[in-house]
């Protein structure tokens, strides 16, 4: 096979797998059959595309092959006559892409996303099912990405598919009164996927690191399927901004590198530009939401040429907006940091003290770590050292402990 | 699709007199709506677990015990059998049940061969 055709099949797999599976589930109602027939169609492509060339519309070709395969299999298992009848009536002759209208197929993919992310499934199952049926990762790959045994992951997927069938979780885009909640649920799954990849260390399994790319691909597809949902665009933009500096957030030793210390020339410019475009498109809708605000904050960081150029007043205002949308003490803490940068450490410290007195963040190491940082900047070194020591007690990871140990040394070093 | 709704609540928790007085009319309204929509096929309130008897047969011997088979904080206070288009409708029906506001409703699909 020429490398071009091999790449065409790989690209078709990335772009079309979810579409083919979704169409087949829509047609047969059988998730396992849909996956198997989609696999068969890609295997067929590997065989015939090198000989006959890559079809003009690979997705249509693959869907047709998979659909014919499903019909064959259903005919052979003729005991299920009712299902066969149903499938036969649905398999209208002709190419669904023929007149250039692929809306029926597109709707199936959207149905699939909402079904995979249904709140009656466990969060773990939602994530696994999304990666399997929409992104086309193998069970082994998903197991590696989440560091569980392949058998455990296989069971999780089987159980989820059984529940969809047996409890009759609908295969549809939710009606208007459920749509906002369910859309938020889908975005939550995609963001979790992204964060799993984002938190993977540089030495981690490549599949795990690849979760960021999968999450971006899925969010992009969702933004095309739901063009009127600014929060989908907001999440996509947020992912671009984070992904742009992903490689720079840890150093060679696996230690966290603070934003202000990162080499900005090595951030991914193309991703930052794309994030900016997507965020602008979201904000033009005039319906702000938590993901859009977070993306706007990330944009402030990503578009500052130097750390010193960061528009902290804008970031502080955006955190205020975010706190209004999502009341959370962690958001308040981030706002305090931004206020400290914009208006000086004393202003930030006042907010941190308020938060500390509320008790909402007791046990969270970033509260004393933030207080310590502000105290140090005010020259109150003894208090700073005590707070760094408190944070060190609470930190959960080695990387965090190493970082805090360095900061503690700064506070106690002779001037 | 038929589902069993197990209506669960902590028997030891006393409702306020106002809430308690409202339970009857609210449940009545729920039953009336679900009957009218052709969703509720059957249902009833159950006597408390202090009136339960657990039966098992081991080695041919009938074993009888006073009380429920599992000691849990929440007990089954009632049940409804509902016929819904899909799980989303069943969730909507369960969420409307007045006990859902302080107890929990377990929704289980019937076993269909």
Question: Which whole number is the average pLDDT over A323-343?
Answer: 95
Q: Which residue has the higher pLDDT, A159 or A84?
A: A159
With beta carbons under 8 A apart, name residues in chain B contacting A168. Answer: 1, 86-87, 109
Contact A168 B109 (CB under 8 A): yes
Number of neighbouring beta carbons within 10 Å of residue A203 = 8
Q: N- to C-terminal Cα distance for chain B?
A: 12
pLDDT tens digit string along A98-110?
Answer: 333 444 445 688 9
What lies within 8 Å, CB to CB, of A327 at 6+ separation is none
Contact B86 A174 (CB under 8 A): no
In A174-193, the residues whose Cβ lies within 8 Å of chain B are 174, 178
CB distance from A46 to chain B under 8 Å?
no
* Per-residue pLDDT at A97 exceeds 80: no
Residue among A12, A233, A6, A239 at smallest CA distance from A136 = A12
Measure the CA–CA gap between A116 and A132, rounded to whole angstroms.
10
List Cα–Cα distances, A269 to A19, A165, A248, A276, in angstroms.
Answer: 30, 45, 13, 11
Q: Tell me the count of A-B CB pairs closer than 8 A.
A: 22
Contact A174 B88 (CB under 8 A): yes
Residue with tokens 């509720």: B40
CB distance from B113 to chain A under 8 Å?
no
CB distance from B86 to chain A under 8 Å?
yes
Chain A residue closest in CA terms to B4: A167
* Per-residue pLDDT at A400 exceeds 80: yes
Instruction: Find out whether B74 and B104 touch, Cβ atoms under 8 Å.
Output: yes
Chain B residue closest in CA terms to A177: B92
pLDDT of residue A99: 37
With beta carbons under 8 A apart, name residues in chain A contacting B86. Answer: 168-170
CB distance from B28 to chain A under 8 Å?
no
* Per-residue pLDDT at B13 exceeds 70: yes
pLDDT tens digit string along A235-283?
Answer: 999 999 999 998 888 887 777 788 889 999 999 999 999 999 999 999 9
Measure the CA–CA gap between A304 and A282, rounded to whole angstroms.
21
Contact B88 A166 (CB under 8 A): no
Distance in Å, alpha carbon of B81 to nearest chain A alpha carbon = 14
CB distance from B112 to chain A under 8 Å?
yes
CB distance from B95 to chain A under 8 Å?
no
Instruction: Find out whether A343 and A317 touch, Cβ atoms under 8 Å.
Output: no
Q: Which two tokens stand for residue A247?
A: 């490689």
pLDDT tens digit string along B37-73?
Answer: 999 999 999 998 989 999 999 999 999 999 888 778 8
CB distance from B21 to chain A under 8 Å?
no
* Per-residue pLDDT at A86 exceeds 80: no
Measure the CA–CA gap between A122 and A140, rounded to whole angstroms.
20
With beta carbons under 8 A apart, name residues in chain A contacting B3. Answer: 167
Contact A167 B91 (CB under 8 A): no
* Per-residue pLDDT at A200 exceeds 80: no
CB distance from A168 to chain B under 8 Å?
yes
Q: Which of B87, B95, B108, B109 to mutate to test the interface with A (most CBs of A within 10 A)?
A: B87
Give the residues across from A355 on adjacent strands. Answer: none
pLDDT of residue A255: 78
Mean pLDDT across chain A: 89
pLDDT tens digit string along A108-162?
Answer: 889 999 999 999 999 999 999 999 999 999 999 999 888 899 999 999 999 999 9
Measure the CA–CA gap between A84 and A71, rounded to whole angstroms.
8
Contact A120 B112 (CB under 8 A): no
pLDDT of residue A168: 95
Task: Kindly provide the ipTM of the predicted complex, given to two decimals.
Answer: 0.89
Q: Which two tokens stand for residue A242?
A: 């984070």
Residue among A102, A72, A84, A76 at smallest CA distance from A29 = A84
With beta carbons under 8 A apart, name residues in chain B contacting A160. Answer: none
pLDDT of residue A85: 54
Q: Which of A4-8, A11-15, A383-387 has the highest mean pLDDT?
A: A383-387
Q: Which two tokens stand for residue A37?
A: 């027939």
CB distance from B64 to chain A under 8 Å?
no
Chain B residue closest in CA terms to A119: B88
CB distance from B88 to chain A under 8 Å?
yes
Nearest-by-Cβ selection for A170 from B3, B86, B112: B86
Question: Which whole number is the average pLDDT over A303-320?
Answer: 95
Distance in Å, alpha carbon of A90 to nearest chain B alpha carbon = 21
Q: Is B9 helix (H, G, I), strand (E, B) or coil?
A: strand
Q: Which of A29, A167, A168 to mutate to test the interface with B (most CBs of B within 10 A)?
A: A168
* Per-residue pLDDT at A233 exceeds 70: yes
Residue among A412, A414, A338 at smallest CA distance from A370 = A338
CB distance from A170 to chain B under 8 Å?
yes
Reported confidence tier of residue A94, pLDDT bands at 50, 70, 90: very low
Contact A120 B86 (CB under 8 A): no
pLDDT of residue A110: 92
CB distance from B81 to chain A under 8 Å?
no
Instruction: Find out whether A26 and A67 touch, Cβ atoms under 8 Å.
Output: no
pLDDT of residue A103: 42
pLDDT of residue A383: 96
Chain A residue closest in CA terms to B84: A168
Contact B86 A178 (CB under 8 A): no
Nearest-by-Cβ selection for A169 from B3, B87, B112: B87
Q: Which residue has the higher pLDDT, B74 or A291?
A: A291
């Amino acid at each position: 096979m020429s490398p071009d055709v091999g790449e065409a099949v790989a690209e078709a797999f990335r772009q079309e797998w979810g579409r083919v599976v979704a169409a087949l589930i829509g047609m047969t109602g059988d998730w396992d059959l849909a996956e198997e027939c989609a696999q068969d169609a890609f295997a067929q492509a590997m065989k015939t595309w090198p000989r006959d060339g890559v079809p003009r519309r690979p997705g249509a070709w693959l869907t047709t092959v998979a659909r014919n395969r499903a019909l064959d299999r259903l005919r052979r298992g003729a005991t299920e006559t009712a299902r066969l009848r149903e499938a036969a009536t649905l398999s209208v002759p002709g190419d669904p892409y023929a007149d250039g209208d692929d809306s029926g197929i597109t709707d199936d993919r959207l149905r699939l996303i909402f079904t995979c992310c249904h709140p009656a499934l466990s969060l773990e199952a939602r994530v696994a099912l999304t990666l399997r049926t929409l992104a086309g990762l193998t069970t082994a790959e998903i197991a590696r990405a989440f560091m569980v045994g392949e058998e455990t992951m296989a069971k999780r997927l089987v159980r989820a598919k059984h529940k969809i069938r047996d409890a009759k979780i609908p295969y549809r885009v939710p009606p208007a009164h459920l749509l906002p909640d369910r859309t938020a649920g889908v975005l939550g799954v995609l963001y979790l996927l992204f964060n799993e990849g984002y938190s993977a260390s540089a030495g981690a399994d490549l599949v795990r690191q690849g979760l960021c790319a999968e999450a971006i691909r899925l969010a992009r597809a969702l933004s095309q399927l739901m063009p009127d949902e600014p929060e989908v665009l907001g999440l996509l933009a947020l992912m671009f901004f984070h992904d742009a500096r992903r490689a720079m957030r840890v150093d060679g030793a696996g230690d966290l590198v603070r934003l202000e210390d990162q080499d900005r020339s090595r951030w991914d410019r193309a991703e930052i530009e794309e994030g900016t475009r997507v965020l602008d498109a979201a904000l033009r809708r005039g319906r702000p939401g938590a993901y859009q605000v977070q993306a706007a904050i990330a944009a402030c960081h990503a578009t500052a040429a130097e750390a010193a150029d960061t528009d902290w007043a804008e970031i502080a205002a955006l955190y205020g907006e975010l706190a209004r949308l999502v009341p959370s003490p962690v958001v308040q803490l981030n706002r305090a940091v931004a206020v400290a940068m914009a208006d000086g450490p004393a202003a930030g410290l006042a907010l941190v003290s308020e938060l500390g007195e509320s008790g909402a963040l007791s046990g969270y190491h970033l509260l004393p770590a933030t207080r310590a940082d502000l105290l140090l900047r005010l020259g109150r070194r003894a208090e700073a050292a005590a707070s760094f020591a408190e944070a060190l007690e609470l930190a959960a990871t080695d990387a965090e402990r190493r970082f805090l140990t360095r900061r503690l040394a700064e506070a106690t070093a002779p001037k | 699709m038929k589902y069993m709704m197990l209506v669960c609540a902590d028997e030891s928790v006393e409702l306020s007199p106002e809430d308690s007085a409202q339970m009857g009319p609210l449940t009545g309204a729920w039953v009336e709506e679900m009957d009218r929509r052709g969703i509720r096929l059957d249902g009833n309130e159950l006597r408390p677990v202090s009136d339960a008897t657990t039966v098992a047969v081991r080695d041919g011997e009938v074993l009888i015990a006073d009380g429920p088979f599992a000691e849990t904080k929440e007990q089954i206070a009632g049940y409804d059998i509902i016929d819904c288009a899909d799980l989303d409708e069943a969730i909507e029906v369960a969420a409307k049940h007045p006990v859902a506001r302080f107890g929990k409703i377990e929704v289980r699909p019937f076993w269909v061969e």
